[in-house]
Amino acid sequence: MAKIDKTHQISVSRQCYLLDVPRSSFYYSPLEEGSNNEELMKQIDEQYTFTPFYGVPRMTEHLRGLGYKVNPKRIRRLYRKMDLFAIGPRPNTSKPHKGEGHGIHPYLLRGMTVDRPNQVWAMDITYIPLAGSHMYLVAIIDVYSRYIVGWSLSNTMTTRWCRECLEEAVTRYGAPEILNTDQGSQFSSFDFWGNFSLHPDLKFSMDGKGRAIDNIFIERFWRSLKYEKIYLEPSDNGLELYHKIKDYMNFYNMERAHQGLGYKKPVEMFRTAA
């Protein structure tokens, strides 16, 4: 970061580009909870990645079994901070996020056959642990090819951050026919999906609340990323984490063969659109 000079006539954004440094790593530093909460969040993340059907009560009991003195209220707060919810049906009394400036789109993928690139993209946010802190990662996957068309790292989960990631992916690869997300406040916000002038025909789809299984391909990607990179090579700071994720994204797209794709690589399947 010392190489970037805020007083230089070249803009910070341009300096970051020339130095191959993400703007987010300059403008944002990792968020820090109390040290005990950071440790709890790391434990929650590892267990949730393996058992995404664990809600607050089961996670609380799991952590107690590891020796942590926790209660459901505390774990529920950390779940909200990490943007987590258990996979599975919920009572009809559970209402999606509604309010001024927010809207829920219908789920459009039920019964659909996804048979070509850029037909359906899926987008999601996940928590990423650091030494004594954490950051958030948003990514967009092409469902047909499993190719990651966009991603970004930040210390906050803002609507603008998500919107910019989507706009960059659309500018680079063209718009999909459908973008599927969960019902999180970032994606339900009009500031995310409204007035999307880059491609007015883009349709937005949303999972049923509490049904991450509807977005299964991005969930599987999170598991691959964390077990194959994040947990094996812990990072001390945001810039180090950025470069490790960048390396993994290149590996995942260009080299990692998928059994579900007939052992082809995502880039091979994605390029069939040409």
Give per-residue pLDDT as tens, 147-157: 999 999 999 99
Residue 58 pLDDT > 60: yes
Whole-model pTM over 0.75? yes
Q: Residue 272 carries which DSSP code?
A: G
Q: Which pLDDT band, with edges at 50, 70 and 90, does 273 fall under?
A: low
Q: Per-residue pLDDT averaged across 53-76, rounded? A: 94
Q: Which pLDDT band, with edges at 50, 70 and 90, does 252 fall under?
A: very high
CATH number of 120-273: 3.30.420.10
Amino acid of residue 130: L
Q: Per-residue pLDDT averaged across 244-265, rounded? A: 95
Largest distance between two CA atoms of the chain: 57
* Cα 173 to Cα 193: distance, rounded to the nearest angstrom: 18
Contact between 72 and 86 under an 8 Å Cβ cutoff? The reply is no
* Cα 90 to Cα 164: distance, rounded to the nearest angstrom: 32
Among the ranges given (57-66, 112-121, 183-192), the one the predictor scored with the smallest mean pLDDT = 183-192
Q: Per-residue pLDDT averaged across 208-224, rounded? A: 77
Beta strands, E only, 70-209: 120-130, 133-142, 148-154, 178-181, 203-206
Amino acid of residue 95: K
Q: Per-residue pLDDT averaged across 154-162, rounded? A: 93
* Cα 231 to Cα 130: distance, rounded to the nearest angstrom: 10
DSSP β-ladder status, 120-130 and 133-142: antiparallel
Question: What is the Cα 76 distance to its own chain's centre?
Answer: 20
Domain boundaries, the chain: 120-273
* Cα 268 to Cα 147: distance, rounded to the nearest angstrom: 9
Residue 235 makes CB contacts below 8 A (sequence gap 6+) with 130, 131, 241, 244
Q: Per-residue pLDDT averaged across 92-103, rounded? A: 50
* Cα 107 to Cα 181: distance, rounded to the nearest angstrom: 9
